[in-house]
Copies of this chain bind each other. A is one copy, B any other.
Amino acid sequence: MYCHGNTSALPFFQRPLSKLVTSLNQNVVKIETSSTMTFLEKEVLIKLHKLFFNEINAFYEKCITNNNKTFGCITSGGTVANLTAMWVARNNAFPKTEDFEGIEKEGVISALKYYEYNDMAIVGSELMHYSFRKAADILGLGLNNIYSIPTDSEYKMRTDLLIKKLEELKLKRIKVIALIGIACTTEVGSIDNLEVLAEIAKKYNIFFHVDGAWGGSFIISDKYKYLLKGIEKADSITIDGHKLLYTPMGCGVILFKSPYIASKTIKKVASYIIRENSMDHGKTTLEGSRPANILYLHASLTLLGQHGLSTLLDMAIYNTKYMASLKCNYKIDKQSDPIFKDNLNKNINYYNLSNENNSKLNNSLYSKEENQIISYFTNELQFRQKKYGKGFVSKTTIKSAKYSNCKDGISVFRVVIANPLVTKENIKFVIEEQIKFGLDLEKEKSNFIN
């Protein structure tokens, strides 16, 4: 069994569908090469828009026939979705006026000069996905202009520090093009307080983007969607089909609250491919030619349906809770498990020390040496299990909360159990194998902790 990343077993229908997608080989960039797929994309985008933003039906009816309204784009993944959102946000921050053509035409240098700003920035929590660093580089802000706000003990952005930073940037005449809310973080599965972030974004007149690549799909779950409260106030939302909507790799989605914003900020046309008044979706996508991956997403949403997907998501949480309880039984580490603080966590993070070493560790703030021990065990254990065992658990580095004594953070295991075929026995097996390797490791290094 493999416990890692976003490579889950897919529903049976995706395989024959992929043969169909390849056989027809449609190109969704324009209506002539896409045919019905353009309409299917629009339909799915409206369905998702309705799930998150829940506008009245008249709103969608009015928009659907207007070729300059865009509910969002299907992208090759979450990174391009986040980059597209930041592109829209940046261009939206420096719009056209009577004597300025807008940043799209005049570029960063002229835009900042015209609006009398010294620089521009993206602000989010320290657990922001690395795609925002790519976006900051690509869009010309530079990595130094990403401001990472520390998180609290539940790995949510500290809004007191956020406000402090926003005030500071205001004084420095640095334009914040976007505030990022995360739902949920790749590392620990925490969700920022979206409701509060939306209010702050509104107060400071900042574009509010929610990176829901991992957790956004829980909007489908009646049981857990309450945890996304406030997401409906976002200006844009990223979700990934290939994470928790059970499509094959290569299916990201960016949704825009306002159906006008993409046309207003990033629209491009070309006489040989996507014309001004056409229905072509290529007018507002970062990518050009694109496969009809929308078919997979449409299939998940209709064949599994809201009920089926909801069941799968609830099952993922159930399995995650089981793994967490198992870890407690084995006394691996009760304290480091964020699952108990927040029900939506699809992640478990833990480190794996055998009982003896574990009991020697202080339960509150760890010392520098203790952090080093935890990291050493995690890294070595992953290596051994991968090489000699049957299981594999991915790992990450966590910096915040009680690991603050370690400036480089500590290594912990990170698990996402989205695969519905995973059984309790599989989970038990992986943990027991880790215990076994952990005990070996301890014997060899019995003098490691003095």
Interfacial residues, chain A to chain B (CB-CB below 8 A):
4-8, 10, 14-19, 21-23, 25-27, 30, 32-33, 76-80, 83, 87, 91, 101, 103-112, 118-120, 129-131, 133-134, 136-145, 186-187, 240, 242, 248-250, 266, 268-273, 286-293, 392, 394-397, 409, 414
In the complex with contacts A107-B119, A268-B133, A289-B25 CB distance below 8 A: no
B109 lies within 8 A of A118 (CB): yes
B19 lies within 8 A of A33 (CB): no
Interface centre among A18, A30, A110, by most B CB within 10 Å? A18
> In the bound complex, what is the Cα–Cα distance between A167 and B450 (angstroms)?
70
A289 lies within 8 A of B10 (CB): no
A22 lies within 8 A of B5 (CB): no
CB contacts (< 8 Å) of A77 on chain B: these are 287-290
> Would you give the shortest CB distance from A96 to chain B, in whole angstroms?
12
**Chain B: CB-nearest residue to A296:** B22
A21 lies within 8 A of B18 (CB): yes
> Would you give the shortest CB distance from A85 to chain B, in whole angstroms?
12
| Residue from the list B109, B139, B248, B290 in contact with A291, Cβ < 8 A | B248
CB contacts (< 8 Å) of A30 on chain B: these are 5
CB contacts (< 8 Å) of A186 on chain B: these are 272-273
> In the bound complex, what is the Cα–Cα distance between A103 and B145 (angstroms)?
11
> Would you give the shortest CB distance from A193 to chain B, in whole angstroms?
22
| Residue from the list B17, B133, B187, B249 in contact with A289, Cβ < 8 A | B249
In the complex with contacts A14-B22, A287-B80, A288-B79, A106-B4 CB distance below 8 A: no
| Residue from the list B15, B118, B290, B293 in contact with A19, Cβ < 8 A | B15
A290 lies within 8 A of B249 (CB): yes
> Would you give the shortest CB distance from A138 to chain B, in whole angstroms?
6
A138 lies within 8 A of B141 (CB): no
In the complex with contacts A33-B4, A77-B288, A289-B78, A266-B137 CB distance below 8 A: yes
**Chain B: CB-nearest residue to A409:** B271
> In the bound complex, what is the Cα–Cα distance between A140 and B142 (angstroms)?
11
> Would you give the shortest CB distance from A173 to chain B, in whole angstroms?
12
> In the bound complex, what is the Cα–Cα distance between A144 and B96 (angstroms)?
14
Cβ contacts A to B, 21 pairs, < 8 Å? A5-B32, A5-B33, A5-B273, A7-B27, A10-B25, A18-B22, A21-B248, A32-B394, A77-B288, A80-B287, A101-B144, A107-B144, A108-B140, A130-B273, A133-B268, A134-B268, A186-B272, A186-B273, A271-B409, A272-B394, A272-B397
> Would you give the shortest CB distance from A374 to chain B, in whole angstroms?
14
A5 lies within 8 A of B27 (CB): yes
Number of copies: 2
A270 lies within 8 A of B130 (CB): yes
CB contacts (< 8 Å) of A250 on chain B: these are 76, 250, 289-291, 293
CB contacts (< 8 Å) of A25 on chain B: these are 7-8, 10, 242, 248-249
> In the bound complex, what is the Cα–Cα distance between A109 and B33 (angstroms)?
41
B7 lies within 8 A of A288 (CB): no
> In the bound complex, what is the Cα–Cα distance between A187 and B6 (angstroms)?
40
CB contacts (< 8 Å) of A110 on chain B: these are 119, 142
Which 5 A-B pairs have CB atoms at the shortest separation, nearest pair first? A107-B142, A140-B140, A272-B396, A249-B291, A79-B288
CB contacts (< 8 Å) of A8 on chain B: these are 25
In the complex with contacts A104-B137, A290-B76, A249-B26 CB distance below 8 A: yes
A79 lies within 8 A of B287 (CB): yes
> In the bound complex, what is the Cα–Cα distance between A145 and B290 (angstroms)?
27
A104 lies within 8 A of B270 (CB): no
CB contacts (< 8 Å) of A240 on chain B: these are 289
> Would you give the shortest CB distance from A35 to chain B, in whole angstroms?
10
> Would you give the shortest CB distance from A247 to chain B, in whole angstroms?
9
CB contacts (< 8 Å) of A289 on chain B: these are 6, 77-79, 240, 242, 249-250
**Chain B: CB-nearest residue to A249:** B291
> Would you give the shortest CB distance from A57 to chain B, in whole angstroms?
32
> Would you give the shortest CB distance from A155 to chain B, in whole angstroms?
13
CB contacts (< 8 Å) of A133 on chain B: these are 268
> In the bound complex, what is the Cα–Cα distance between A293 and B18 (angstroms)?
12
CB contacts (< 8 Å) of A249 on chain B: these are 25-27, 289-292
